Structure 1
């Protein structure tokens, strides 16, 4: 199990990106959180097994219908927070 910090840029706000990402995460068994950032990007903390995490990152590169993803930056982090589900913040 590992945690990824994922930053998604492009047209990712106002296109149901967070809602659709939560649906994907729930289906894949990913825990964590997603939130809009003031600069127009989306910040995700995703916790789970390696293979589902990679599939989730690949989904982020496409995003929801209407999204135009410019870049996805995923980095491993040592997360100490315990996630119980995948939540939309804000």
Structure 2
């Protein structure tokens, strides 16, 4: 589909232990996105967002604006990626 987009985001800051993954899943589901979110051992969170371009943009902007209330987002590295056809959005264990 022409309106489909996928982005991989690496989020730096205080983003673990603050319900970042669960809140990201809620936002993704709200915007009909598929993909995943996981903690990494280096303290970052990585999210794969795919679906309607406006939904991907909305969730990325939510993350860049700080994500859930207890998080402190310092930096977001983002890249366009090819949609992988994920069937739903899931929280993965880091």
Structure 2 length-normalised TM: 0.90
Corresponding residue for residue 15 of structure 2: 12
Say which of 67, 70, 90 aligns to 1:66. 70
User: Which of structure 1's runs of 4+ aligned residues deviate more than 2 A?
Assistant: none
The alpha carbon displacement at 1:78 in A equals: 1.9
Structure 1 length-normalised TM: 0.94
Structure 2 Cα separation of the partners of residues 23 and 78 of structure 1: 23
Cα RMSD, aligned residues only: 0.9
**Runs of 5+ consecutive residues of structure 1 not aligned to the other structure:** none
Matched, 1:24 2:59: no
* Secondary structure of 2:85 counterpart: coil
Instruction: Give aligned pairs, total.
Output: 89
**Runs of 5+ consecutive residues of structure 2 not aligned to the other structure:** none
